[in-house]
Amino acid sequence: MSGHMNLTLKVWRQKNSTTPGKFVTYKADEISPDMSFLEMLDVVNEDLVKKKEDPIHFDHDCREGICGMCSLVINGEPHGPKRATTTCQLHMRSFSDKDTIVIEPWRATAFPVVKDLVTNRSSFDRIQQAGGYVSVGTGGVPDANEIPISKVIADEAMSSATCIGCGACVAACKNASAMLFVSAKISQFALLPQGQPERYARAEAMVLQMDEEGFGGCTNTYACEAQCPKEIKVTNIARMNREFFNAELIKS
Amino acid sequence: MSNFSKAFSSTLGRKLIMSLTGLFLCSFLIIHLIGNFQLFKNDDGLGFNQYAHFMTHFTPIKVVSYLLYASIIVHSVWAIIITRKNRAARPVAYAIKPKDGSIWSSRNMGILGTIIFVFIVVHMSNFWYKYHQGYTPYIEYQTDVKTGATTSRVLDASEFKQYTVYVENGVEVIQTEDLYKEVAIAFQQWWLVAFYVLAMAALAFHLIHGFQSAFQTLGWNHRKYFPIAKFLGVWGFGLLIPIGFALMPLYFLFK
Ligand code: SF4
Ligand code: FES
């Protein structure tokens, strides 16, 4: 393994949602290339705590790329330079010794900064609550394969369902649009038989809630697809458009 | 709110309006290009002038042309509304310019569109306005019906009453506005030609992104057919059509 790295961090520090923030420079010395990006921040924070300074606040939970809590725009890229990788799964070997790393929070009206790098993403929760579910009576356990679903469709629905709701698509989009997220959530149900009864009501409710939250509109730059850690495809957005126009103009 | 107005006032609805007006304007480009190919004919403008008269006097085409003007305005106004709303969605910019793998034209549709809009204003005041105000010169063509040989002479404004076609003593006489001459004179100015070519370059980049984007917005992102829209967007609307238009001013400049 290569030797340890000495890095310079420029981190966005902001006391709370009402105080304006600024960049503060920190040294991160003796960083192992095998650490994850968040572990590197932990090291910096331990130092800050020892010095009785306020540690850098950032979101994280599972640290294994499945919960969608971690965020961070690292040198202009949501979740950092590595494709299809969340910040918690990003290793310091993606950087080199003496690098300067600029760390910013997600920037969007609908994701206000809570503190430092932590943003409030409850707008996503409200979109989900508006229609991202199926209402089913939970009876006994159904038999396997009772409802036949072709492999192609099942795979497509599954890959839409891999969206972890991290918000990197919003962070990457020049319009701070949430359409990749919302379309993934609409698609995973629109494709499956279980999603049919509420199909059009769901599309309408989720899209209108998305607008309500103040996300921008999609201009098809496809930056979201490039930056999504779960490689959610923009074909989902086309499907969402179809579902929504059907809901508003044809099926009702 | 009714479903209908909800559909059009939502973020998706605004995109729908952009895509529908955009595609309608694209369809016009095809017609406009094919018609204007008559500029390349070596007939002293006979074909082109007849075509211009037909396009401005045939009622169904007049109706479509008003739809066209409306589409240009709606497409531009909606672009401004959408841009303002999208800016509001990110009030604090990133310190490091995001690297996102998106193509340049997709991020600069507004700038490209503005160039095209200025072009349309210049273009319409050059030709459309002059033609409709009767500022164009006039011409008379005499074609020998038997031999097909055509001669032409400049008509004075006082001699011209209205567009007329008649046959007398085996000679077909056509008196018409001479838009062809107006075009030929205008394109002697190199700076105007340069501006036209620049505008067509902007159009090319606008359509490379815009044409396929319209289909994505409509939800017609089909595994089999979307590549066709992409292909047409790049080779047809992104290259062939703008180059075809750009050749016209260049042809007159170097003729
Ligand atoms: S679509 Fe991708 S980037 Fe957007 S929230 Fe889901 S996982 Fe994150
Ligand atoms: S911390 Fe859970 S996905 Fe990164």
- Whether A107 contacts A73, CB under 8 Å: yes
Verify that B51 and B106 share a domain, yes or no: yes
With a cut of 50, say whether residue A140 has pLDDT above it.
yes
In ligand 2, the atom with minimum distance to the C-alpha of A63 is 1
Verify that A145 and A244 share a domain, yes or no: yes
Verify that A100 and A130 share a domain, yes or no: no
Q: Which of A104, A133, A151 marks a domain boundary? A: A104
Q: What is the pLDDT of residue B2?
A: 65
pLDDT tens digits along A206-250: 999 999 999 999 999 999 999 999 999 999 999 999 999 999 988
Q: Which of A48, A75, A104 marks a domain boundary? A: A104
CB contact set of A247 (below 8 Å; sequence gap of 6+)? A199, A200, A201, A203, A204, B3
Chain A interface includes B186 (CB < 8 A): no
Residue A60 Cβ inside 6 Å of ligand 1? The answer reads no
pLDDT tens digits along A35-51: 999 999 999 999 999 99
Q: Rounded mean pLDDT of chain A? A: 96
Q: What is the pLDDT of residue B114?
A: 97
> Pairing mode, if any, of strands A5-13 and A100-104?
parallel
pLDDT tens digits along B25-76: 999 999 999 999 999 999 999 999 999 999 999 999 999 999 999 999 999 9
Q: Which of B117, B147, B177 marks a domain boundary? A: B177
Verify that B25 and B64 share a domain, yes or no: yes
Cβ distance of A222 and B102 shorter than 8 Å: yes
A117 Cα to the center of ligand 2, angstroms: 14
Question: Which residues of chain B are modeled with pLDDT < 70?
Answer: 1-2
Q: Which ligand is nearest to the CA of A60?
A: 2
Ligand 1 pocket, mutate which of A162, A187, A228, A236 (most atoms under 8 A from CB): A228
Verify that A16 and A85 share a domain, yes or no: yes
What CATH number does residue A194 fall under? Answer: 1.10.1060.10
Q: Which helix H or strand E contains A10, and what residues bound it?
A: strand A5-13
Verify that A150 and A243 share a domain, yes or no: yes
Name which of A109, A176, A244 is nearest B12 (Cβ-Cβ).
A244
Verify that B13 and B115 share a domain, yes or no: yes
Verify that B122 and B227 share a domain, yes or no: yes
What CATH number does residue A32 fall under? Answer: 3.10.20.30
Tell me how close the Cα of A231 comes to any Cα of chain B, in angstroms.
Answer: 14
For residue A187, tell me if it sits in a domain: yes
Verify that A239 and A126 share a domain, yes or no: yes
pLDDT tens digits along B157-175: 889 989 999 999 999 999 9
Q: What is the pLDDT of residue B98?
A: 82
Domain, as residue range, for B26: 3-135+178-254
Verify that B105 and B29 share a domain, yes or no: yes
Domain, as residue range, for A61: 5-104
Number of domains in chain B: 2
Query: Which residue matches tokens 């496809």?
Result: A222
With a cut of 60, say whether residue A1 has pLDDT above it.
no
Verify that A18 and A92 share a domain, yes or no: yes
Number of domains in chain A: 2
Q: What is the pLDDT of residue A84?
A: 97
Q: What is the pLDDT of residue B167?
A: 94
Helix, strand, coil share (%) of chain A residues, nearest 5: 40, 15, 45
> ipTM score here?
0.92
Q: What is the pLDDT of residue A2?
A: 57
What residues in B contact A237, CB-CB < 8 Å? 216, 221
For residue A114, tell me if it sits in a domain: no
Q: How many CB pairs under 8 A join A and B?
A: 148
Chain A interface includes B102 (CB < 8 A): yes
